[in-house]
């Protein structure tokens, strides 16, 4: 009940602020279909020839990785929607929307205030986790070990200036199964400090599957330096029970150099959780709820006493000179599984329908 009241107060406060800030954009008062339309229907897909060696043993196979349907439109003036459906993902019986990434409705209440409800990204800072999965060839431990990236929730966004957006979000926790009543309370800034320095920063108060709370500070930075783009992400995870500051963290560096129709890419990350980050109040009945390697740890994403180093490099080629068609070759590995991976793949996008602008 307390969490329900918190959610109602959260959205009500934003509604009052929006009403006071500017003229409200109201949906069609007569309830007709006027203003309702689909703006775009599109698809993207990726497949690759995957090769790997593990302990000197070679293996290879073709694999289809993504087939996504995108639908964008509006149901009335000021009320827009977005759908992203993974057509190749099996639907989970316990979560009938497991193949749906986006299914949200956004009300643009005023030029500076908007409200979003439905299935949406869980707002965690950083460019690795913010990137569309079809554009990511390999992830670090932090991103890989989240239960969910998208969930049904509610958010309010304030846009004080062009290119600057501050959001508050109440949504299920990314580190708890979707069927649990564990939540995440997120403060998120998507903006820039300088024209060439973009930011995706967040503070997240998250509940894990044992209903303990963790704090995340996630600082994503993108530097656009001409033909070179550099992403630097830093995520610090901490609990009030930790003995040392900055002892549970992730750091990720990605660089892309664009030369004509080619991108030369590299990404490296290091993640560490000190062995001292043990919960002094750990309960024996929790042992069966988590993996043996995670027992006693304050952090269930990267357990205490672990570090993870991952790295890779590759090239991308765009034969048409646009994102519509991409060919990639990427190598990646880590210090945990000790598997060497090499992918040759193809990504293509096309628009099945696009509404003409009047």
* Residues 6 or more apart whose Cβ sits within 8 Å of residue 306: 272, 273, 293
**Cβ neighbours of residue 32 under 8 Å, at least 6 residues apart?**
none
Instruction: List the beta strands (DSSP E) in 16-78.
Output: 37-54, 57-76
Overall average pLDDT of the 87-92 stretch: 90
123: Cα separation from own chain's centroid: 7
pLDDT of residue 162: 95
Please write the tens of the pLDDT for every residue from 132-177. 999 999 999 999 999 999 999 999 999 999 999 999 999 999 998 8
Q: What is the pLDDT of residue 194?
A: 97
Alpha helices in the chain (DSSP H): 2-21, 127-130, 141-144
pLDDT at 91: 87
CB 152 within 8 A of CB 102: no
**To the nearest whole percent, how much of the chain has pLDDT over 90?**
81
pLDDT in tens, 16-45: 444 444 444 444 444 446 789 999 999 999
Mean of pLDDT over the chain: 91
Q: CA-based angle 35:38:44, to the nearest 5? A: 160
What percentage of the chain exceeds 70 in pLDDT? 90
More confident residue, 87 or 31: 87
The yes/no answer on whether domain 45-354 falls in CATH 2.40.160.10 is yes
Domain segments of the chain as ranges: 45-354
Write the pLDDT tens digit of every residue in 38-85. 999 999 999 999 999 998 899 999 999 999 999 999 999 999 999 999
Give the list of residues 6+ apart from residue 194 with CB closer than 8 angstroms, or none: none
Going by C-alpha positions, the residue among 120, 130, 122 that lies closest to residue 254 is 130
Q: Distance (Å, rounded) from C-alpha 302 to C-alpha 146?
A: 10
Given this model, what pLDDT does residue 243 score? 86
Q: Specify the pTM.
A: 0.89
At 291-336, the pLDDT tens digits run 898 999 999 999 999 999 999 999 999 999 999 999 999 999 999 8
């Amino acid at each position: 009940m307390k969490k329900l009241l918190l959610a109602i107060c959260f959205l009500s406060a934003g509604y009052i602020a929006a009403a006071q800030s500017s003229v409200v954009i109201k949906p069609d008062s007569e309830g007709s279909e006027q203003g309702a339309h689909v703006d775009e229907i599109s698809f993207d897909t990726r497949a690759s020839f995957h090769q790997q060696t593990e302990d000197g043993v070679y293996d290879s196979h073709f694999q289809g990785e993504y087939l996504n349907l995108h639908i964008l439109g509006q149901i009335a003036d000021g009320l827009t929607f977005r759908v992203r459906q993974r057509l190749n993902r099996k639907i989970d019986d316990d979560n009938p929307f497991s193949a749906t990434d986006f299914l949200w409705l956004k009300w643009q209440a005023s030029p500076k205030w908007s409200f979003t409800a439905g299935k949406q990204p869980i707002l965690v800072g950083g460019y690795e986790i913010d990137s569309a999965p079809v554009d990511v060839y390999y992830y670090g431990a932090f991103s890989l070990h989240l239960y969910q990236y998208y969930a049904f929730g509610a958010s309010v966004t304030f846009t004080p200036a062009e290119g600057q957006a501050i959001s508050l979000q109440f949504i299920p926790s990314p580190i708890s199964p979707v069927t649990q009543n564990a939540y995440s309370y997120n403060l998120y800034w998507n903006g820039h400090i300088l024209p060439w320095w973009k930011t995706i920063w967040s503070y997240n108060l998250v509940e894990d599957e044992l209903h303990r709370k963790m704090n995340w500070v996630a600082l994503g930075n993108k530097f656009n330096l001409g033909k070179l783009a550099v992403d630097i992400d830093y995520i610090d995870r901490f609990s009030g029970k930790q003995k040392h500051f900055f002892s549970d963290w992730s750091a990720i560096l990605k660089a892309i150099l664009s030369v004509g129709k080619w991108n030369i890419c590299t990404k490296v990350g290091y993640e560490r959780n000190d062995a001292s980050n043990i919960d002094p109040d750990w309960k024996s009945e929790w042992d069966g709820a988590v993996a043996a390697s995670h027992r006693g740890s304050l952090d269930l994403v990267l357990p205490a006493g672990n570090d993870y180093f991952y790295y890779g490099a590759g090239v991308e080629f765009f034969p048409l000179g646009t994102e519509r068609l991409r060919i990639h070759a990427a190598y990646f590995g880590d210090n945990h599984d000790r598997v060497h991976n090499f992918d040759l793949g193809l990504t293509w996008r096309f628009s099945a329908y696009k509404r003409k602008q009047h």
